[in-house]
């Protein structure tokens, strides 16, 4: 005669099997539903809907080269980092690469560094190369380059060391000079709300330790911080565009 223990384990096995089959069926259904409802910004009629990227690509920056658009974004402590996306119309984007296979310095990122790592980067095209300048608020400003954004990027070089240096933006002037603008993180530097400009070599192998604050938030009522600056020269004017939370003023020029 079979014992009560046997029937107990048989019932337990059948219950687990039933649960597993139900989970598998539900997972298949969810997977199918997810595939069918995948977000599409392109409406197919010449119009689109926001967001064009239904994902976390914070602090995005875009450069256009010969009709193609390339985007990168903050990736914080993720590895690989510095995602590279490609588009031909600014609506349909494809993730084609990562410029940063590992976080540097490796020994620092051997431990989880939530919220640290790569903050707002800038991608540019100069001298037939793609450049990404990116900050690590605990170490300084790095640069990496490539001839092919879908290929291998160079090992990042720390071109400006220091805590609190964030959100770099390079400018290669038509007069032969090169500059690097950047903001500051109060959590590391002890202050913020200023936009700083330095000279650098054309190949970014040297950045001056001398600097000028070209925008000082203390001189602008309502400014509390300056983030994500971009630096341009248009029609003889130098233009900086930056985020100024809590105000409606988001660009300055000189």
> pLDDT averaged over consecutive 10-residue blocks of the chain (254 residues)?
53 50 44 58 96 94 98 97 98 98 95 94 98 99 99 99 98 98 96 96 98 90 86 93 72 56
The whole-model pTM stands at 0.84
Q: For the chain, what's the residue count?
A: 254
| Exposure string for 37-63, b = 16+ CB within 10 A, e = fewer | eeeebeeeeeebeeebbeeebebbbeb
pLDDT at 242 (0 to 100): 87
Domains with residue ranges and CATH for the chain = 61-253 (2.115.10.20)
- Evaluated on CA atoms 182, 152, 70, 129, the torsion sign reads positive
Pairwise CA distance, residues 127 & 149, whole Å: 14
């Amino acid at each position: 005669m079979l014992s009560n223990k046997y029937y107990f384990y048989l019932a337990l096995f059948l219950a687990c099997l039933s649960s597993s089959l139900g989970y598998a069926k539900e997972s298949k259904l969810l997977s199918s539903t997810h595939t069918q409802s995948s977000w599409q910004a392109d409406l197919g009629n010449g119009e689109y809907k926001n967001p064009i990227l239904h994902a976390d690509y914070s602090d995005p920056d875009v450069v256009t080269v010969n009709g193609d658009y390339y985007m990168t974004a903050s990736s914080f402590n993720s590895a690989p980092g510095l995602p590279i996306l490609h588009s031909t119309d600014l609506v349909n984007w494809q993730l084609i690469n990562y410029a940063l296979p590992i976080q540097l310095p490796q020994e620092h990122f051997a431990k989880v560094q939530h919220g640290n790592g790569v903050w707002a980067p800038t991608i540019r095209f100069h001298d037939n190369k793609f450049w990404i300048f990116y900050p690590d608020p605990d170490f300084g400003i790095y640069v990496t380059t490539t001839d092919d954004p879908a290929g291998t990027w160079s090992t990042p070089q720390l071109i400006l060391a220091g805590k609190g240096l964030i959100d770099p933006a390079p400018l290669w002037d038509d007069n032969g000079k090169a500059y690097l603008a950047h903001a500051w993180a109060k959590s590391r530097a002890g202050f913020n709300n200023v936009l700083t400009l330095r000279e650098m070599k054309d190949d970014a192998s040297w950045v001056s330790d001398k600097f000028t604050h070209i925008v000082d938030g203390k001189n602008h009522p309502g400014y509390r911080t300056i983030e994500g600056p971009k630096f341009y020269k248009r029609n003889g004017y130098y233009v900086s565009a930056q985020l100024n939370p809590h105000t409606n003023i988001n660009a300055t020029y000189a």
